Each structure stands twice: as C-alpha cells, then as structure tokens.
C-alpha cells in the first residue's frame, strides 16, 4: 500500500491533519488538528453547527523510531444549538485516538493493557520504560478491569482450588473446559461460596473436579442434575500415595541378610545415632501418653511435627533398622566383602581399606576401621541386600510396563517375591491403571470389592474413598472429560501470584486471571 502523506503513516484512517513534527531530546512532538465533521452532542445526540472555541490537548501515543510520541492536538469545542439540551458545549473526539478525560491514545492504552495483563504494575512499568511507552504503575493497574461474569455457567465447567498461602488459605477457579477460558475466581474454597456461585449461574451440565469434598457437597446442593466427573490424574495420584504407603509399611520384608541365615543374630550396636533414636522414641511416647498434641511435643523437643508423628507411629525396632540402614552409606556395597575377609583371617583395617579402594570404594579409612571394630565387638550390622526406596518401587508399579527397563523389571520382581503384600498392591494398582487408561469404568465395582476384601490396608482405604464418590469416579473412568485444562490455569495463577509477590489484593489477582491474553 502506497502512503500518500505523513497522516497515512502516523494516523491511518483518522480524521486528523498533521501540521508539524519536532524531535526534541527523547520526544517526538507532533502538532495535529481534528478535521472531521462535528460529532453528535453526548446529551441530545444532535450534531453541532458552530464552533465555540479551540484548545490544546496532549496525548501520549505509541513510540516511533525508538522515540516517545506526544501528540499536541488542537481540538474544537462545539456549541449545542438545541434549546431543550442542558449541555451548552462539548468537545470533539477523534475516533481511534482520543477519549474524554484520557491523556493516552487508544493504541497506547491497548499496549498498556497487554503489558499489565502479562506483568502487572511495577514489572510492567519497567517494561514500558524500555519500550518508550508512557505507562506508570498506577496507570497500568487502571487498565485491569475484570470482565463481567456471564449469567449462565458454561456447559462443561471445571472447578479446582489454588493456594494463596499453601497449607493455609485457598481460592477457587472456575474454567470453561470447552473454550479453555477462566470464568470466575472465588476468594475461598468453602462449600457455601461454591454452591452460591452455582445457584447464581445455572446451566452447567458436566462439572469436572478433583476429589475435594467441599466441591462435591456444593455441586450436590446447587447443581444436583449436573454430571460430576472426577479427574483421572488425581485418582492416579491418590492410588500412588496408597501404593507408596504400602511399600513403606512392608519395607521390613525387603531387609534380609545377604549371607546364610544360619548365622546367629548380632546385637544392636551402641552408636550415637542409635542412642539418639532410642532417646527420642522414649521422650515422644512419654509426652504422647500425657495427652499433648504433635505440635506441642514438637515445640517442646524442638522437632518437626512430621518427625514426632513418625516416632509415635513406628515401633522402636523399625526406627533402629532405618537408622542402621543410614549408618554406613558408601560402605554398604562392600560390607559383605569386609565380613568375608574378616572371617578368613584378614583383620587389619588398613589392608581391608586398600582392598576396598581397588574395588571402587570412595569413602574414608575411618569408616572401614569403625566397622571392623564393630565386627570385633560383635555388634556389626550384617550385610543386607540393597533395599530399593519405596518411591522407586511405587514408580515401577505405577508406570506402564512397556516403559520399564530390564533392570527395573528384575528389581520389581525381586520385591514382589520378597513381600506378598507389595505384590498384591502391584496387581491391584496395575489393574486400576489399565482400567483408567482404557476407559473401562464398568469394571470399577468389581475392583473396589476385590481391593476392600483382599487388598492391603492403604489400597482398601483408597477403594473405600472411591465407593463414596462412585458415580463421579465411574464417569471419570468412562468419559473423555478431565480437569487437565483447569490444572493449566492453576499453574498460570501460580505464575501470576509469584509476579505480584503476594502484595496485591484479591480483586487485582482476579482481574489478571480473568483477562486471558
């Protein structure tokens, strides 16, 4: 397209005449005047016939050639000749450039709004400074006005929570699953708040949600005819937690001596680590018997609440076994060699240390010497088979079998052979994941019955929670809908929240969430 004048380049399609452009310092000052017909009176909508006066307006525009732009605009004030109109004069507005009482052009405000949606106040102001746009923090935040919420909820609605402060305060985001756009943001995740929103915005036919009981109650109260769909990812997450809990409870089955079982059991060693475990176990249980809460016990003993719970729930033998497993570290793979050489007559710690270095040992001499002294005293920990972590076992069980390597398959089979409970949990978990991936929700009742009657305790509890939410879980294992799109918006909210550093109000956060770029 051929440009006939400077107006076609700077202000295409606008009723504007450019008189001159002056470059001063970092600014490009453009003198211009409106040349269009008089617009209608804002009060009576009749066009004017006479000009009352003229005055100058300064409008900040988009940068040109790396320079800030200020349009020095000569505007006309018109007389309204209608006797019935209460307004006597009004100012002309150049469509596409000016609006009443605003000192920024329409194009510049559009750019400021995009910056504000992406970055917010202070970060947006820093970017505007680099882009040569007139955008202060307060001006940017004024551009953020949340869109009105539709009266009708979308046909497929997604609901999920997000954290203002993790573990303390939460909000709720509602998303149109079909268009992948947020619909509204609520200041909490209470049943009453969600139920009130659903009553004020009817029309949802399918509601995708996680397994939070507050959402379930709200949907049953306010939208009983809607079909609830439990999210498949959360189901797999809950099942994975149950499998890992089973692996932790039965980890003792995997701690078996690697040598012959005819050797007499060795006494528990007296080490500072084990002495501390015994002392803490006794102190925690004494305070538990007095009725103190876990948090109060943790404050008194200067321990984390989770540590106090572990000492309360686990017996002393299991705690000592876990501590012994951590006691040697880099020496663990070579304990069997040290014991064998000691029994054959090599009792010199330095000689054993040199042999271990040749085998790939990377630790220090004092670790070997301390273990040899424990053998002499008869309190050394016997060589154990390398016990996989519960999290690794859970990963082998929950991943598709075709993605496992040969070594992972072999180690999982060894775990299954060592512990029937873990083997049963593995079979039930794989049956459930196959049912989920193949959308065979009609088999769910049979699986629940099998898990509750013969499965490990943790798997049985998971199955019981599914029975209480049977219709939603069955829909999740049958229909193609899920909360994946909602989870994406939750991640976006986390990004926005981190940009705002937690200082902004809920209204501003809601506006930025709803103003999707």
- pLDDT tens track of the chain, all 517 residues? 444 567 767 788 788 888 888 887 778 888 888 888 888 888 888 888 888 889 999 998 888 888 888 889 998 999 888 888 888 888 888 888 888 888 888 888 888 888 888 887 888 888 888 888 888 888 888 887 777 888 899 999 999 999 888 878 899 999 999 999 999 999 999 999 999 999 999 999 999 998 888 899 999 999 999 999 999 999 999 999 999 999 988 877 776 544 444 444 444 556 677 888 889 999 999 999 998 898 999 998 998 988 999 888 887 877 776 666 554 567 877 888 888 888 888 989 999 999 999 988 888 898 889 888 888 887 776 665 567 888 899 999 999 989 988 888 998 998 998 889 999 999 999 999 999 999 999 999 999 999 999 889 999 999 999 999 899 999 999 999 888 899 999 999 988 888 776 667 888 888 888 887 6
**Selection from 334, 337, 357, 358 nearest residue 346 by Cα:** 337
Domain positions in the chain? 6-103, 109-142, 156-231+484-514, 233-251+388-476, 253-377
Q: Distance between terminal CA atoms of the chain? A: 30
* Cα distances (angstroms) measured from residue 390 to each of 159, 240, 402, 405, 430: 32, 11, 21, 18, 17
Q: d(Cα 105, Cα 58) in Å, to the nearest integer?
A: 10
Tell me if 144 sits within 8 A of 159, measured CB to CB. Answer: no
Could you give the strand order of the β-sheet that contains 156-165, starting from the edge strand earlier in sequence? 181-186, 169-176, 156-165, 206-209, 227-230
Q: d(Cα 473, Cα 476) in Å, to the nearest integer?
A: 5
Query: What is the number of residues in the chain?
Result: 517
How wide is the angle at C-alpha 167 spanned by C-alphas 162 and 172, nearest 5°?
20
How wide is the angle at C-alpha 78 spanned by C-alphas 75 and 84, nearest 5°?
150
Q: What fold characterizes domain 156-231+484-514?
A: Nucleotidyltransferase; domain 5 (3.30.420)
Q: d(Cα 3, Cα 33) in Å, to the nearest integer?
A: 20
Q: d(Cα 382, Cα 489) in Å, to the nearest integer?
A: 52
Q: d(Cα 93, Cα 215) in Å, to the nearest integer?
A: 50
Helix (H, G, I), strand (E, B) or coil at 410: helix
Helix (H, G, I), strand (E, B) or coil at 72: strand
Alpha carbon 266 to its chain's center? 48
Q: d(Cα 36, Cα 31) in Å, to the nearest integer?
A: 16
Q: d(Cα 28, Cα 352) in Å, to the nearest integer?
A: 82
For residue 230, list its beta bridge partners. 209
pTM: 0.66
Concatenated DSSP letters of 81-126: --TT-S--EEE---TTT--TT--B-HHHHHHHHHHHHHH-SHHHHH
Task: Please give the structure tokens belonging to residue 219.
Answer: 């949907």
Q: Which residue has the tokens 């997000």?
A: 162
């Amino acid at each position: 397209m051929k440009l006939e004048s400077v107006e076609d380049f700077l202000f295409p399609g606008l009723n504007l005449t450019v008189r001159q452009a002056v470059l001063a310092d970092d600014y490009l000052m453009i003198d211009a005047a409106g040349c269009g017909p008089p617009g209608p009176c804002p009060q009576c909508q009749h066009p004017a016939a006479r000009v009352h006066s003229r005055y100058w307006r300064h409008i900040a525009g988009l940068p040109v050639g790396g320079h800030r732009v200020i349009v020095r605009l000569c505007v006309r004030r018109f007389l309204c000749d209608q006797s019935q109109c209460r307004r006597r004069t009004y100012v002309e507005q150049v469509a596409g450039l000016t609006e009443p009482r605003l000192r920024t052009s329409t194009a510049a405000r559009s750019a400021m709004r995009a910056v504000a949606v992406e970055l917010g106040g202070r970060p947006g102001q820093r970017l505007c400074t680099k882009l040569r746009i007139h955008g202060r923090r307060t001006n940017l935040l004024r551009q953020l006005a949340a869109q009105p919420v539709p009266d009708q909820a979308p046909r497929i609605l997604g609901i999920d929570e997000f954290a203002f402060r993790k573990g303390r305060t939460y909000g709720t985001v509602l998303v149109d699953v079909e268009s992948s756009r947020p619909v509204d943001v609520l200041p909490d995740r209470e049943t009453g708040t969600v139920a009130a929103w659903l009553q004020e915005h009817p029309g949802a036919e399918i509601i995708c949600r996680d397994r939070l009981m507050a959402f379930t109650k709200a949907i049953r109260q306010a939208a009983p005819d809607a079909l609830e769909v439990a999210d498949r990812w959360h189901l797999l997450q809950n099942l994975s937690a149950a499998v890992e809990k089973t692996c932790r409870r039965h980890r003792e089955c995997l701690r078996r001596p690697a040598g012959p079982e005819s050797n007499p059991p060795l006494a528990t060693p007296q080490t500072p680590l084990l002495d501390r475990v015994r002392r803490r176990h006794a102190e925690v249980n004494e305070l538990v018997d007095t009725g103190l809460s876990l948090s109060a016990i943790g404050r008194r003993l200067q321990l984390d609440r989770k540590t106090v719970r572990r000492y309360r729930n686990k017996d002393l033998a299991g705690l000592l076994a876990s501590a012994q497993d951590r006691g040697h570290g880099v020496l663990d793979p070579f304990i069997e060699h040290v014991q064998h050489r000691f029994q054959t007559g090599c009792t010199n710690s330095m000689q054993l240390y040199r042999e271990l270095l040749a085998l790939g040992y990377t630790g220090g001499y004092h670790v070997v010497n301390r273990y040899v002294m424990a053998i002499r005293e008869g309190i050394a920990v016997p060589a154990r088979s390398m016990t996989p972590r519960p999290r690794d076992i859970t990963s082998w069980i929950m991943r598709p079998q075709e993605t496992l390597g040969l070594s992972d398959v072999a180690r999982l089979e060894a775990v299954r052979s060592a512990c029937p409970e873990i083997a049963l949990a593995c079979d039930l978990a794989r049956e459930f994941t196959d049912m989920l991936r193949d959308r065979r929700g009609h088999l769910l009742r049979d699986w629940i019955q099998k898990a509750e009657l013969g499965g490990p305790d943790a798997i049985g509890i998971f199955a019981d929670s599914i029975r209480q939410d049977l219709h939603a879980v069955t829909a999740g294992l049958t229909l193609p809908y899920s909360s994946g799109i909602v989870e994406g918006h939750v991640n976006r909210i986390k990004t926005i929240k981190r940009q705002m550093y937690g200082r902004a109000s809920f209204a501003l956060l809601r506006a930025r969430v709803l103003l999707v770029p």
